[in-house]
A and B are shown apart, each in its own frame.
Chain A
């Protein structure tokens, strides 16, 4: 993984000192809350319902074991003993005190971590495939590009006060596990005509209250031109994006109002001026960054056969193929039955860091599904690893299944929420276990957002729940047919809303109808496409 050099280290430490000064200026009254707000947001500090919240960046979801230990330390020392992994491949702490935050950031800097631009109207953490560098279907490793984007976007002189937040996703594999279609910019690594690797560029996708699938701007942008092209897009957006209405300020609205062709033309025009200029990435820098992401060595040890049904079930769902012989990637589920999706205790984090050192080349990934991944584990070690994980409540065999529910923090923490999300996730997870529907339903996505901001990605869930406020009541809308990865699609509302309890049962009913009506190995989307929404609707609204 990437390691800081002196330049990176200095910048992050200077940033800590800058924020220390800003906190002091706020306390002294030199900064008003209105002035302080964007500054603290750009350092990951939110004011939540009950307290400040700190969101720490996990750049493109990649963590070392030492970094994970530091996250555990922060959870233990400054929070209530746990952290919450988010759908943006970051971690949030819900209870730190504002005065402690500069100190927390200082400690994070000692392990090459920061909270820069994890919030605010700026370029956020770039996300990617959690199996990057390991996935068997990878065209090219996206992580060096994520790191180059991270550096370019950090403290950008032009793009720090954008109309709205801005999210970039990169995928390097044939199967898009980064949901590039629903990002402000989505990049796909592709091979060009002469075999050179470059980028297919999409822009204008997003979730929130007006979900849109991104449009393709270009089939191919050369590697060295990437930053010039991104600058061109951001500049068009920064100058022309709406600032009068925060609900219309995302790039998707601009792309839509200008029209894809006119937007593309404006970007191309800007790019033509920037190309071959100082934004051209030196080949040496591409090579330097890429050298931090070399593939691991093969592991030739023989693998003993196991007949343990718990292990086999876990292996079937949570173990993924790897491009290197003898290695596998392991999904560590943070979705035990009835628990809060994405939460991990300090003890679990420490234990997992140790396991990563022992079995996983000291590397951990965070997924947008709010799980963790050990990307490089020897097939020969899987049984031992499983045994230890099981003892830590980290071996729930449900990666990608219905009970692998994604949920935003919702009304329990978030001051924008209309409704609770976590309790619903917990209830659905319990009911799936009780009814035994989880396994027969196979791969199926359920996602819950507590308001239209869609942090829980409900739009792109096969089954989505959205909390809305109806005259002071928490009401949930149910959507079906959304897809995040690959051919992104936005789900459609099934019918009238539900109370919390009936929403849980409605989700269960949809899962049940699917298991009854699917033929062969159909996915939920395939069954839905074949039989339409009516059978689901009828069953859900029957009583």
Chain B
């Protein structure tokens, strides 16, 4: 956060791109004025009047990304609170205390609450350590255990905060059948990118019915975001990363809030970064459970046969990993993900990477 000397506060607040807000501003009433503004100056009539802190935090939460400036009767001892509430600059009435302002910014090395400076609050720091240790401990216990035991343990331990992400693709039925048997009410997320093959959607519905899954949740891109970013529906052609972000990463991040564990269908034999997969994996935010990590293609096949599971209708046409139609082509069974984003470096869609806060994508089951 930058501290301005008082003499500089002459920077005009009347410039069209700057909005000056009194402490009693009601954001709901001025939403139109805020749109497009580059900087908002929030006035503090007295340093004891803390409304500006909540105003700033609210503006940030509602997505204001411009500059926030605290103006008025403020004291150096408030530097850190201002920064944490979301301010970028402060223009205090009283000048000549730069040293105290700067010292106050670094008076504390950690915080208890999440705030707009996006530092990690104490509870998250602690939970992250605990979660990482838990993944290690679970791996020690379950490294060589059968898939079903891994899955049952995960569903039990993370009851109420575990979900599955499924593409209802070529291999999905094997893992889903196991989940349906243990806990059919487990939330199963399906990312409807609106670019799926019709066969996938039909197959999804048939499989859900056949297995008796009772908690399937269809996730779609936010309407407004889609209209803004992909008006012509051709974003995938121009920028597949942006398209995946719009249609997969962000909807999933929203849906996953409140979930601490995610079941995946990734297997070591898929190759690439998946070759070292363990049954439990902490990605910095969530525990990923990979019960099928050690399965081979033949293991999957055996389950399909044993349970007489229906195959995805496109498998016999040579598709082994099935995603959106613009980005999927047939591939050889030896290298299943070759058929995805053919002709690009891309091999993963981004939902596997941990997101800094709140959202985390998971791979497909």
Residues of A within 8 A of B (CB): 5, 7-8, 10-11, 14-15, 17-18, 21-22, 25, 30-31, 35, 38-39, 121, 148, 151-152, 154-162, 224, 227, 235, 238-239, 243, 273-274, 276-285, 288
Contact = CB atoms under 8 A, between A and B. Distances in A.
Given A25-B100, A155-B108, A157-B84, A39 B58 contact: no
Contacts of A11: 108, 110, 112
Interface string B52-78: 011101100100000000000001011
Interface string B87-127: 00000000001001001100111111111100001111111
A161 B50 contact: yes
14 contacts: A18-B107, A25-B100, A152-B112, A155-B108, A155-B112, A157-B81, A158-B81, A161-B49, A239-B55, A278-B121, A279-B113, A280-B257, A283-B161, A284-B127
B61 A281 contact: no
A483 B111 CA distance: 39
Q: Is the interface of A mostly helix, strand, loop or mixed?
A: helix
Given A155-B111, A273-B61, A283-B260, A7 B53 contact: no
Given A158-B85, A278-B358, A30 B111 contact: no
Contact of B50 (A22, A158, A277, A284): A158
B158 to A, nearest CB: 9
A454 to B, nearest CB: 23
Contacts of B127: 282-285, 288
Closest CB pairs A-B (n = 10): A161-B50, A282-B127, A157-B84, A278-B114, A276-B257, A284-B127, A285-B123, A284-B130, A151-B112, A158-B53
B48 A121 contact: yes
Interface residues of B, number: 49
A157 B123 contact: no
Interface of B: 47-51, 53-55, 57-58, 61, 75, 77-78, 80-82, 84-85, 97, 100, 103-104, 107-116, 121-127, 130-131, 134, 161, 257-258, 260, 357-358
Contacts of B47: 35, 38, 161
A121 B84 CA distance: 19
Contacts of B109: 10, 14
A151 B115 contact: no
A22 B77 contact: yes
Contacts of A17: 107
Contacts of A239: 51, 54-55
B84 A21 contact: no
Nearest to A235: B54
A279 B103 CA distance: 28
Contacts of A18: 77, 104, 107-108
Nearest to A158: B53
A120 to B, nearest CB: 10
Given A121-B48, A157-B115, A158-B50, A285 B126 contact: yes
Nearest to A25: B100
Contacts of B49: 161, 243
B125 A7 contact: yes
A278 B50 contact: no
Contacts of B84: 157
Contacts of B108: 11, 14-15, 18, 155
A9 to B, nearest CB: 11
B3 to A, nearest CB: 15
Contacts of B58: 235
